[in-house]
Chain A
Amino acid sequence: DQQVKQNSPSLSVQEGRISILNCDYTNSMFDYFLWYKKYPAEGPTFLISISSIKDKNEDGRFTVFLNKSAKHLSLHIVPSQPGDSAVYFCAASWQGAQKLVFGQGTRLTINP
């Protein structure tokens, strides 16, 4: 039972353009969502998060949008840079859960 799904295994974007990574979830109890970035041979690092009381959170070039009715969130990267090439994981949790549920990840490649 995959509660957090990232349906695109890979995405290729031109440098300078917008990258949009998508994530869907099924568990209505989730009320906190995070994005992690992972480079090869390294552990995931936290990128940005959003609480269910918001529908948007921005941090520099990164914006996360949350659509609770559709159980969907997306990560926008504008403008995309070569250093953004990595695997991006969506994760979700709920109050008292003490743990995160991760999606399968999307490999983003930024082309020069």
Chain B
Amino acid sequence: NAGVTQTPKFRILKIGQSMTLQCTQDMNHNYMYWYRQDPGMGLKLIYYSVGAGITDKGEVPNGYNVSRSTTEDFPLRLELAAPSQTSVYFCASSPRSGTYNEQFFGPGTRLTVL
């Protein structure tokens, strides 16, 4: 199993550009999550999904969109990139409720918006 994979590893965007961060898991997990980590800060939840076709906002959803058409994939879309979106983005998955099962994380995407 590859676990949770994320692409790209690094990306530099100009202000106003858009991009999609890809996340795929091969563990047949129902729950998937997107976090961002800013320097010196913890992980902030952007969006999460409890199954295909179901998504919900986390703590910091503004400026992002998600979709979940399959169990495996959970892409994160940035529209009109801003410098405040410079961060490291982590995707995670969990077999069922995130409450009593640990989440498995991907390696992250480092995004810089200039």
Contact = CB atoms under 8 A, between A and B. Distances in A.
Interface size class of chain A, counting residues whose CB lies under 8 Å from the partner chain: 20 to 34
Interface string B89-111: 01010000111101111111000
Interface in B63-114: 90, 92, 97-100, 102-108
Interface string A35-62: 0100001111110010100000000000
B42 interface: yes
B99 A105 contact: no
A100 B98 contact: yes
Nearest to A35: B102
Contact of B42 (A43, A93, A96, A102): A102
Contacts of B107: 41-43
Interface residues of B, number: 26
A104 B97 CA distance: 23
A56 B42 CA distance: 24
A9 B78 CA distance: 30
26 contacts: A6-B42, A42-B107, A43-B4, A43-B90, A43-B105, A43-B106, A43-B107, A44-B43, A45-B105, A46-B102, A46-B104, A89-B42, A93-B98, A94-B99, A95-B99, A95-B100, A96-B99, A97-B99, A98-B50, A99-B48, A99-B98, A102-B42, A102-B43, A103-B42, A104-B41, A105-B41
